[in-house]
Amino acid sequence: MKVRRLLVAAASALLLLTPATAWAQQVAYAASAVAELDSATRAAVDRELGRARSRGLPVQPLVAKVREGQVKRAAPERIRTAVSALAARLDSARAALGPTSNAGEIVAGADAIATGVGMSTLRSVRAAAGVRDLSAPLGALAQLVASGVPARRATAMILELLKRDTGPRDLLAFGNAVESDVGAGVPAEESAVFRLRAIESQGIGADRLTVTAPGVDPTALSGRPGANTGGTTVKRKP
């Protein structure tokens, strides 16, 4: 009888192990990241990870945030705050984008929220995109807003591009081009309007044009990673 009980326990353990293998790998990955934290921070981070996991939120970005804090030698309190803030943003993004949104969309939504994009905006982008993946549109939106394009204007542009069925490739190029222009001294909104018009009227991919601000040597930009090269050079009037 005792042997039988042992066998039942062993069978149950084995059955439990099967689906838990992948989960265990995730836990091991997370554990390796939080291992170096002090006990109070580790407990707080573990709680956040557990809460995120139970709510079906992606855990990997939270673990990456811990690693980022560690590699930047941030104070434990700061790591704890950053992880909590990111968890809250992921939660808000999922609430706005809907329960069927995938991990990429939730992360992109959280990034957009971090730049100041509101939840109602995320909802309107979801409504405009339907079942299409939102990672690229939201990534581009976050990039535009972070570059200095007013959130309302940036949202209108992204919605316009979605209405035109612009693909993820062009959306990513649009965000990159505006950020690159702003880095070169072009005002954010001006660059965004120009890039958008180029996509709409000429069908030219945003990464095929070079915008140069006055006093900036275009050749100096070409060596920079992500800087646009080739294509037409349009110089802004002083």
Partner 1 sequence: MHDETDETIIRIAAALRPLPEVDPARKARVLVAVAAERERTRERRLRIARAWRVAAGTAAVAAAAFVAAVILGTPRRAAEVPASARSASMPARRDAESVAAAARLATDAKLGGFKTVQVVLRAPSARRVSVVGDFNAWDSGTDEMSRDPVTGLWSHTLALRPGRHVYAFVVDDSVWMRDPRSPEAADADFGRPGSVLLVGQP
For 136-195, the DSSP string reads HHHHHHHHHHHHT--HHHHHHHHHHHHHTT--HHHHHHHHHHHHHHHHTT--HHHHHHHH
Both tokens assigned to 185: 């001294």
- State yes or no: residue 209 binds partner 1 (CB under 8 A): no
State the CB neighbour count (10 A cutoff) for residue 2: 6
Piece of the chain touching partner 1 by CB under 8 A; list 87-95, 118-126, 173-181, 186-194: 173-181
Contacts of 6 (CB under 8 A, 6+ apart): none
Least CB distance to partner 1 at residue 225 (A): 5
Which lies closer to partner 1 via its Cβ, residue 169 or residue 238?
A: 169
| Interface residue with partner 1, options 55, 164, 197, 224 (CB under 8 A) | 224
Q: Which amino acid is at 18?
A: T
CB of 60 to partner 1, least distance (A): 7
Element (H, E) at 211: strand 209-212
**Cα-flanking dihedrals φ and ψ of residue 12, to 5°?**
-60, -45
169 binds partner 1 (CB under 8 A): yes
Among 71, 131, 165, 237, binds partner 1 (CB under 8 A): 71
Nearer to partner 1, 68 or 123 (CB): 68
Q: Is 56 exposed, middle or buried (0-12, 13-18, 19+ CB in 10 A)?
A: exposed
Task: Name which position in 42, 47, 51, 67 contacts partner 1 (CB under 8 A).
Answer: 67
**37-38-42 Cα angle (round to 5):** 65
Sole binder of partner 1 in the list 101, 155, 166, 176 (CB under 8 A): 176
Which residues 30-59 are close enough to bind partner 1 by CB under 8 A?
none
Which residue, 17 or 40, is less far from partner 1 as judged by CB? Answer: 17
180 scored as a contact of partner 1 (CB under 8 A): yes
- Intra-chain end-to-end CA distance of the chain, in Å: 92
For partner 1, the binding residues in 98-127 under the rule CB under 8 A are 114
Q: Residue for token digits 């993946």?
A: 133
Q: Which residues bind partner 1 (CB under 8 A)?
A: 4, 7-8, 10-12, 14-15, 17-19, 21-22, 60, 63-65, 67-74, 78-79, 81-82, 85, 114, 133, 136, 139, 143, 167-169, 172-173, 175-176, 179-180, 183, 207, 223-228
